[in-house]
């Protein structure tokens, strides 16, 4: 019996591994044609200013509408796109499309808020990234102050000097910079103060655990204090309940993003959110 169990288990692992390889191959194959077939679309999630209750910005989140696979979420394909290097051209499309959409909302007379774009490490490291950002702004006609770039902690902690130089370049051009998923990487506090950051986004795992015990709430409180001492505005990610909102507001968090306010929505629906807010 034990033997049988062992064998079944082995089979189970093997087929699970096969499934993973198949999924990866499938995604990798379909990704090759996704851009030319116009299968990507941006959704947008608003973040709300705790003081005014108004939309303070919109984060562009990539969605992939693949005819055979259906709507594919980023967790299933961003990693593969990073490994294959395809993220570079996809990222360039996201950058341009987010700027284009932001400018279109402004031209329609809607409230002007920054649009945030997630930047992958591979994309950021490529020579000419700063130029690519400038190109997207010029092509769309969007003012630099309405573009925000979200960089992850792990991106920022590799080749720190090079990252700081590129960030200073972007900053000088007027672009806003955020540190995304804060707390999940290995930030060196001595480096942190050298990055020209406008926003610190507290990762949603901390928000989720925040009200379960005293250490959980203390961690979030100190992240807010730390971020403020670095001169950042604080954005809490993944806010789902009124209790979480209450605690964050009490502790001086500046903006909140999460399902409590809105899920990521289509560009059209995001325009309606802005319209309702005018």
Residues that bind Mg ion (CB under 5 A): 118, 150, 180-181, 237
Q: How far is the CB of 108 from Mg ion (least distance, A)?
A: 25
Based on CB atoms, which residue is closest to ligand C2E, 75 or 213? 75
| Between 94 and 170, CB nearer to ligand C2E | 94
Which of these, 202, 184, 200, lies nearest to 192 by C-alpha position? 200
CA distance readout (Å), 274 to 54, 97, 103: 9, 18, 13
- CA 63 to CA 270: how far, in whole Å? 15
Closer residue to ligand C2E, CB minimum distance, 66 or 257: 257
Pick from 31, 50, 61, 253: which binds ligand C2E (CB under 6 A)? 61
Which lies closer to ligand C2E via its Cβ, residue 240 or residue 277? 240
Longest dimension (CA), the chain: 72
Give the range of 17-25, 104-112, 186-194, 235-243 binding ligand C2E by CB under 6 A. Answer: 235-243
- The contact mask relative to ligand C2E for 27-56 (x = CB under 6 A, - = no) is ------------------x-----------
Which residue in the set 92, 97, 180, 254 belongs to the binding site for ligand C2E (CB under 6 A)?
Answer: 180
Q: Measured from the CB atom, is 62 or 144 closer to ligand C2E?
A: 62
To ligand C2E, the closest distance from the beta carbon of 6 in angstroms equals: 37
Q: Closest separation between CB of residue 13 and Mg ion, Å?
A: 28
Q: CB 8 → ligand C2E: shortest distance, Å?
A: 34
Distance CA 89, CA 81 (A): 10
Helix-strand-coil split of the chain, %, nearest 5: 55, 20, 25
Provide the minimum distance between the beta carbon of 29 and ligand C2E in the complex, in angstroms, as a whole number.
20
Beta strands 70-72 and 40-49, pairing class: unpaired
Q: Does 148 bind ligand C2E (CB under 6 A)?
A: no
Which among 103, 205, 115, 107 is positioned nearest to 153, based on CA atoms? Answer: 205
Q: Least distance to Mg ion from the beta carbon of 95, Å?
A: 14
Nearer Cβ to Mg ion, position 223 or 276? Answer: 223
Angle between helices 160-172 and 129-140 (to 10 degrees): 20
Q: Terminal CA-to-CA distance of the chain, rounded, Å?
A: 69
Near ligand C2E by CB under 6 A: residue from 94, 99, 113, 232: 94
**Beta-carbon contacts of residue 171 (< 8 Å; ≥ 6 apart):** 177, 196
Distances (CA, A) of 23 to 16, 19, 61, 80, 118: 11, 6, 22, 10, 24
Beta strands in 119-175 (DSSP E): 147-152
| β-sheet bridge partners, residue 233 | 199
* Rounded Cα gap, residues 11 and 17, in angstroms: 10
Per-residue contact flags (x/-) with ligand C2E for residues 114 to 133, judged by CB under 6 A: ----x-x-------------
- Residues in contact with ligand C2E by CB under 6 A are 45, 61-62, 73-75, 78, 91, 94, 118, 120, 150, 180-181, 204, 237-240, 257-259, 264
């Amino acid at each position: 019996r034990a033997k049988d169990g062992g064998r079944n288990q082995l089979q189970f692992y093997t087929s699970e591994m096969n499934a993973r390889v198949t999924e990866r191959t499938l995604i990798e194959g379909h990704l090759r044609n996704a851009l030319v077939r116009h299968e990507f679309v941006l959704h947008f999630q608003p973040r709300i200013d705790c003081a005014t209750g108004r939309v303070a910005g919109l984060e562009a989140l990539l969605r992939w509408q693949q005819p055979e696979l259906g709507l594919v979420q980023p967790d299933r394909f961003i990693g593969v796109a990073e490994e294959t290097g395809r993220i570079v051209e996809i990222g360039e499309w996201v950058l341009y499309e987010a700027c284009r959409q932001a400018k279109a909302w402004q031209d329609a007379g809607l409230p002007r808020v920054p649009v945030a774009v997630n930047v992958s490490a591979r994309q950021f490291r490529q020579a000419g990234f700063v130029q690519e950002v400038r190109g997207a702004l010029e092509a769309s006609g969007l003012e630099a102050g309405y573009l925000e770039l979200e960089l992850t902690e792990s991106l920022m902690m590799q080749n720190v000097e090079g990252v700081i130089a590129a960030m200073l370049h972007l900053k000088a051009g007027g672009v806003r910079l955020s540190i995304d998923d804060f707390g999940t990487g290995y930030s060196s506090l001595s480096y942190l103060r050298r990055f020209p950051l406008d926003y610190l986004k507290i990762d949603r795992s901390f928000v989720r655990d925040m009200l379960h015990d005293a250490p959980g709430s203390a961690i979030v409180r100190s992240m807010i204090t730390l971020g403020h001492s670095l001169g950042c505005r604080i954005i809490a990610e993944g806010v789902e309940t009124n209790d979480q909102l209450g605690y964050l507001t009490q502790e001086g968090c500046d903006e909140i993003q999460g399902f409590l306010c809105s899920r990521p929505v289509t560009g059209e629906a995001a325009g309606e959110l802005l319209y309702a807010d005018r």
